[in-house]
Amino acid sequence: MSNPFFLPRVQPPEPPKRKVFVSFHHGNDQYYFDLFIGTFGESYDVFYDQSLDGHIRSDDPEYVNRAIREDNIRGSSLTIVLCGRETGKRKYVDWEIYSTLHYEHALLGIILPTAQMTCDGKIIVPGRLHANLVSGYAHLMNWQTNAPNLKWNIEEAIRKGGKKSAIDNSLPRMQRNRP
């Protein structure tokens, strides 16, 4: 007969594997993107990668924006922004964050080792990401190669992304890259 006071130890369920779109500055941060996808998308199998497979061949920025939005971001559960030295200066990164917020998907910023800092030691992130960190909708973490910690931060971003009323998509979309 079993003891009525003994409860078997139950492991909490593993969080689901999320579909992730990764936004980054291709010119400066390709190395970190490749390392991130190779480590967490392939080796540790933390998420499904919904990012672009290659460049979209078009000179029409609206077409590029629509293609990324409809083919990559719409099918994801969150966007991860790899925040390097010039990420906040890139119009496509801004547009990808804009589309993420339009679809009310979660938003996670990851501070790369190359990230720029202000003179008082604050990390510089894209403006639209910053507005949503301030509002409590987005989540921010430091770069690392620890799968359990990344899973926890993804789930925290998903949790914060549940606060739809905190979305701040009020900044005008960038029309061109900043120098």
Q: What is the per-residue pLDDT across 120-146, written as a single tens digit (0 to 9) for each?
A: 999 999 999 999 999 999 999 999 878
Report the pLDDT averaged over residues 142-154. Answer: 92
DSSP secondary structure letter of residue 31? H
Whether residue 171 is contained in a domain is answered as: no
CA atoms within 13 A on the CB side of 103: 22
Domain that holds residue 138: 18-166
Residue 70 is assigned to a structural domain of this protein: yes
**Residue 174 domain flag:** no
Query: Is 75 or 170 the better-scoring residue by pLDDT?
Result: 170
What is the number of structural domains in the chain? 1
CA nearest neighbour of 15 among 38, 46, 52, 42: 46
Domain membership flag for residue 176: no
With residue 73 as reference, give the H or E element that holds it.
none
Tell me 160's DSSP state.
Answer: H
- Mean pLDDT of the 77-92 span: 96
CATH number of the domain at 158, please.
3.40.50.450
Three-class DSSP category at 116? coil
The pLDDT value recorded for residue 59 is: 74
Task: Give the residue among 48, 50, 49, 51 at the shortest CA–CA distance from 16.
Answer: 48
Residue 15 has what pLDDT? 74
Judged against a pLDDT cut of 80, whether residue 54 lies above it is answered with: no
Is residue 179 a part of any domain in this protein? Answer: no
Indicate the SS3 state at residue 124.
Answer: coil
Asked if residues 116 and 85 have their Cβ atoms less than 8 Å apart, the reply is yes
First and final CA of the chain: distance in angstroms? 74
- Confidence at 156, pLDDT banded by 50, 70, 90: very high
Report pLDDT for 48.
Answer: 86
Is the Cβ–Cβ distance between 80 and 110 less than 8 Å? yes
> Which pTM value belongs to this model?
0.88
pLDDT at 141: 97
Average pLDDT in the 141-165 region? 94
Whether 53 has a pLDDT exceeding 70, the answer reads no
